Structure 1
Amino acid sequence: MNEEIRVIIIDDHPIMAEATKHIIEKIEGLKVVSIATNGVQGMDMINLYGPNLVMLDYQLPDCSGISVAKWIKETHPAMKIVMITGFDVLDLVAPLTEIGLHGIISKEKEAPVIRRMVECILDNQLVLPHETIAKLVSDPEKDPDQLTEEEKKIMILASSGETSSQIADKLFVSKRSVDNYMSVIYRKLAVRSKAEAIAVFQNNRKKGTGI
């Protein structure tokens, strides 16, 4: 990594925050510039330091991690966000991927696993725990049809954490067109959410099925 990547951690548990800092700073080129203990302080630190990556706890004392994530995407759309949580990750996938998060990491994961997940996120991949993807694609009826080249482009961008508006800007189409494409993709992949579509798409790409 040529440039230093600035990271802010927002977590009200001091021990967990320090543990996350230790894990993050083991990755070459990353530096934790601030640790915030609540959502309001976190937003202030984000405005002050302009980090590249935010490690955000799902449950904060003054607000939810989701509300902070929405604020970040509205005010700093290029910023990467990783939600760290001790809750059942599967229940969070759909709402968080709709916001445009780049990863969801369970606090129960070991340090080397978290480091690998963060490295993938920095490489513009949407990262979910393996067991979560397995649950999302476990339905045997999810046997996807071939996607068109345009649909593949949209799914590749969605898999990197881009929102519909960001995808529209990059493909020079309207947001409504992207939403229409996504509806077709949902039907082809037999899914009902962006999170499921991404999970099925990534799973089948790894298998080399050609979608």
Structure 2
Amino acid sequence: MAVNSRTHVLRFVILCLSALVCGCSQQQAPHPGAALESLFHSGKGKAIWVHHYREDSIKAQPELLSLYSDKTEQIAVVDWISGSEKVEQLRGTADSLFILQFEYETANKVSDYAYMMYVETREGEHYLKPFTMGPKFHLDSYKQEDGDAILSSVGMDQWYKLDKALHDVFPPAATKPLEQLGKSSYAMVETTNYF
């Protein structure tokens, strides 16, 4: 009788442990932007540079629009990106093209960059896609029709749809145009090839 009782107790313990192990091993579904977040480096983020293709400029394109170097600003940008949803195709007509340049540092030196194309459409949608930066994305001047060639180079599939525009993440007063970066920062930007 004691052996039978021990067998039941042992089976009960094994059953409980099995239930506990199975319950603990369930994987949570990742949030929609998890795949995009995984593209970020584990290195320390130093800055996020925002470049904009503009028709109304005499400068080479894309030109630097703003810089986010404060950690709270960088976290806000990453949170904005993490709320994205992967979509098969970029939908709509591109109205504005931007390049987000993520700068990383190791041992207080710039060690790497990552790039994402950000598109605002005429239909009011916002899309983002990682890409490999190269010379074909640098133009002497920009016309709206150049956007088609740029998007063709990036590819029209495997984009991430965002729930709001970048300018909604930060009000205009929070961005730092190049003119407000100060002379030493401006000189650094002018003499350093970030692409």
Which TM-score band applies after superposition, normalised by the shorter structure? under 0.3
TM-score normalised by the chain length of structure 1: 0.23
Structure with max Cα Rg? 2
Structure number with the higher strand fraction is: 2
Q: Higher RCO, 1 or 2 (CA under 8 Å, sep at least 6)?
A: 2
User: Which has more helix, going by share of residues?
Assistant: 1
